[in-house]
């Protein structure tokens, strides 16, 4: 599935297909790194977490109040850290297999992947500063 990613620098909408390994999507108009938001699914998940940058997976559902708090924060992080992070949102109602595989008991749950390997887990919403600290700290050598 193509993602349509709005550029935070110039506002252009970019239709992004598969991104080559080790690369990040850039704006076709101005060349800026794009905020890399993606809706992950059971079918695509193994590819969704493969990226040359850390991948935050947000397990959420429309009925989950704290998920509605953390969702926009993650979108902000994707914009501010464009080129350095990918955010994959997985709707657990529509995609039950991946949450089962990773023993996701409650939502929101965030998983962090580095090079396709699970590097961190955060259960429950966090303020943005704490979320950024978790991102920077998790799985660092
Ligand atoms: Zn642009």
Residues near ion ligand 1 (Cβ under 5 Å): 7, 9-10, 12, 27, 29-30, 32
Q: Is 64 a catalytic residue?
A: yes
Give every residue of the chain whose pLDDT is below 70, as ranges. 1, 139-141
Q: How many CB atoms lie within 10 A of CB 78?
A: 21
Do the strands 55-60 and 36-40 form a parallel or antiparallel pair, or are they unpaired? unpaired
Q: How far is the CA of 33 from the centre of ligand 1 (A)?
A: 8
pLDDT at residue 54 in the model: 95
Write out the two tokens for 119: 């590097």
Question: Which residue is listed with tokens 């108009």?
Answer: 29
Q: How far is the CA of 104 from the centre of ligand 1 (A)?
A: 36
Q: Is 10 a catalytic residue?
A: no
Q: How far is the CA of 30 from the centre of ligand 1 (A)?
A: 4
3-state secondary structure at position 74? helix
Q: What are phi and psi of 16, to 5 degrees?
A: -115, 120
Q: How far is the CA of 85 from the centre of ligand 1 (A)?
A: 17
Cα–Cα distance, 66 to 108 (Å, whole number): 7
| Domains contained in the chain, CATH given | 35-137 (3.40.30.10)
Cα–Cα distance, 124 to 74 (Å, whole number): 13
Cα–Cα distance, 66 to 95 (Å, whole number): 19
pLDDT at residue 140 in the model: 64
pLDDT at residue 18 in the model: 81
pLDDT at residue 49 in the model: 95
Write out the two tokens for 25: 């999507």
Q: How many CB atoms lie within 10 A of CB 132?
A: 16
Q: Which helix (H) or strand (E) holds 101?
A: helix 97-101
């Amino acid at each position: 599935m193509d993602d349509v990613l709005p550029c935070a620098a110039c506002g252009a909408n970019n239709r992004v297909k598969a991104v080559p390994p080790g690369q990040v999507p850039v704006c076709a108009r101005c060349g800026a790194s794009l905020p890399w938001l993606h809706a992950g699914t059971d079918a695509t998940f193994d590819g969704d977490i493969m990226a040359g940058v850390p991948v935050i997976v947000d397990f959420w559902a429309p009925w989950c109040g704290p998920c509605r708090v953390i969702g926009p924060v993650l979108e902000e992080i994707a914009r501010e850290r464009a080129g350095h992070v990918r955010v994959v949102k997985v709707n657990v109602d529509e995609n039950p297999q991946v949450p089962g595989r990773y023993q996701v008991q409650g939502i929101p749950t965030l998983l962090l992947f580095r090079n396709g390997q699970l590097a961190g887990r955060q259960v429950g919403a966090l303020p943005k500063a704490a979320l950024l600290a978790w991102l920077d700290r998790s799985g660092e050598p």
